[in-house]
């Protein structure tokens, strides 16, 4: 008669030798095949009871390490693993052209892959327009808007510029002599400078904007005095502001950032308010069921204690919006950004 346990065991399932030996010992010690059957059944039941993770994800940050997209991707990696949303999350960096190089690679290589994600946001919307990218956000599957962050205008503490009024005075006197260091051309930082110039009575097309592909490169240039002023999300400058390496002149929100001693641009007499936002998207060609599964993972992430704590630590606003509501808002943001870029002369 065949061994009951052998007959029951599914094909292509291999048990460690130690488990086989223990089952054999129990069978011999207690004189029955049933004991071996029960032992093996308990092993399979334990395996089935292990946590089931939704997916292993690879997140593309379409920028160099150190910037906002890189920070967002690595924050997602940390929290998704910590909260048990995914057992394995990898991050890859593909910098260049405001994220459009990474976007083209992402869409070209991942069609139908529900495990591939890309972070992006307001910067990418502008970069797509200014670079006339053939690949746009219509070529991915939008999942959710994640965070919002106000822009910060900084100078090295060694600078003779003490206030926004000082910076604007130099800008009015000679726009080209004031160099601004920030992220990609056409992105939020660039838009912020254009809006500041316009609100100050300076031709936005005359600004001297130096674009960097990552926050780390921009920060090094600002600290090294290679540019007059720096513009980026406050979180990218926070450590240097607190350590006294950078002087924070103003922030771009309607209200001050809690705990930060800096006026808003409006308080400084410049009628500009701007918030950068960041999003996550999945690959093109996903089924409705795959899209729903990825969205469910981010719904879970947005409500998790780990994510909420990270938002506080980073100083990021919780602007979570998913599904059709996010897709509709994204269409509006693309249209309004195009209008702003045309208004300040960055798009014809």
Pairing of strands 57-61, 89-93: parallel
Instruction: Give the pLDDT band (50/70/90) at residue 47.
Output: very low
The kind and range of the H/E element at 229 are strand 229-233
Q: Return the CATH number of the domain spanning residue range 149-251.
A: 3.40.190.10
What's the mean per-residue pLDDT of the chain? 86
Other CB atoms closer than 10 Å to residue 63's CB: what's the count?
A: 34
Instruction: Give the pLDDT band (50/70/90) at residue 309.
Output: very high
3-class state of residue 113 by DSSP:
coil
Summarised one tens digit per residue, pLDDT across range 171-201 is 999 999 999 999 888 889 999 999 999 999 9
Q: Roughly how many angstroms between the first and final C-alpha of the chain, as a whole number?
A: 84
Q: Record the pTM.
A: 0.75
Q: Where are the domains of the chain?
A: 4-49, 57-148+278-343, 149-251
In which residue are the tokens 């070209």 written?
108
> Percentage of the chain surpassing pLDDT 70?
84
Rounded Cα–Cα distance for residues 283 and 110 (Å): 6
Low-confidence winner among 34-48, 76-90, 106-120, 169-183 (lowest mean pLDDT): 34-48
For residues 265 and 165, the answer to whether their CB atoms sit within 8 Å is no
Class of domain 57-148+278-343: alpha beta
Dihedral, CA of residue 255, residue 257, residue 262 and residue 266, to nearest 10 = -20
Low-confidence winner among 35-44, 74-83, 117-126, 215-224 (lowest mean pLDDT): 35-44
Q: Which residues of 283-307 are buried (b: 16+ CB within 10 A; e: fewer)?
A: bbebeeebbeebbebbeebbebebb
Domains 57-148+278-343 and 149-251 share a fold: yes
* Structure-model confidence comparison of residues 80 and 48, the more confident one: 80
- Can you give the C-alpha Rg of the chain in angstroms? 26
Q: What is the pLDDT of residue 178?
A: 98
Summarised one tens digit per residue, pLDDT across range 29-46 is 444 444 444 444 444 444
Dihedral, CA of residue 345, residue 123, residue 267 and residue 179, to nearest 10 = -60
Rounded Cα–Cα distance for residues 323 and 174 (Å): 47
Q: What is the pLDDT of residue 54?
A: 53
Summarised one tens digit per residue, pLDDT across range 234-282 is 988 999 999 999 999 999 999 998 889 999 999 999 999 999 999 999 9
């Amino acid at each position: 008669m065949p061994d009951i346990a052998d007959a029951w065991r599914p094909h292509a399932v291999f048990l460690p030798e130690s488990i086989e030996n223990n089952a054999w010992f129990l069978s011999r010690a207690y004189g029955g095949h049933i004991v071996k059957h029960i032992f093996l059944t308990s092993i399979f039941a334990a395996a089935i009871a292990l946590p089931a993770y939704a997916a292993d994800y690879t997140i593309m940050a379409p920028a160099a390490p150190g910037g906002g997209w890189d920070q967002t991707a690595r924050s997602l990696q940390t929290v998704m693993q910590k909260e048990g949303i995914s057992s394995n999350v990898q991050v890859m960096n593909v910098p260049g052209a405001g994220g459009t190089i990474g976007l083209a690679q992402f869409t070209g290589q991942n069609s139908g892959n529900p495990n591939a994600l890309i972070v992006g946001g307001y910067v990418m919307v502008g970069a797509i327009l200014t670079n006339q990218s053939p690949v746009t956000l219509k070529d991915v599957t939008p999942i959710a808007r994640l965070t919002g962050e106000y822009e910060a205008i900084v100078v090295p503490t060694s600078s003779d510029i003490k206030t926004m009024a000082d910076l604007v005075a130099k800008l009015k006197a000679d726009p080209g002599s004031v160099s601004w260091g920030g992220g990609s051309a056409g992105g939020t930082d660039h838009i912020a400078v254009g809006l500041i110039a316009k609100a100050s009575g300076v031709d936005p097309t005359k600004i001297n904007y130096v674009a960097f592909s990552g926050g780390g490169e921009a920060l090094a240039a600002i600290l090294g005095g290679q540019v007059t002023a720096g513009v980026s999300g406050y979180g990218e400058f926070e450590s240097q502001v607190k350590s006294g390496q950078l002087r924070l002149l103003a922030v771009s929100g309607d209200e001050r950032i809690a705990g930060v001693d800096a006026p808003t641009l409006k308080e400084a007499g410049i009628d500009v308010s701007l918030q950068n936002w960041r999003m996550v998207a999945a690959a093109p060609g996903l089924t409705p069921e795959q899209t729903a599964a990825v969205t469910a993972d981010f719904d879970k992430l947005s409500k998790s204690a780990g994510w909420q704590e990270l938002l506080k630590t980073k100083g990021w606003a919780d602007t979570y919006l998913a599904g059709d509501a996010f897709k509709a808002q994204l269409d509006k943001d693309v249209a309004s950004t195009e209008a702003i870029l045309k208004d300040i002369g960055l798009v014809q």
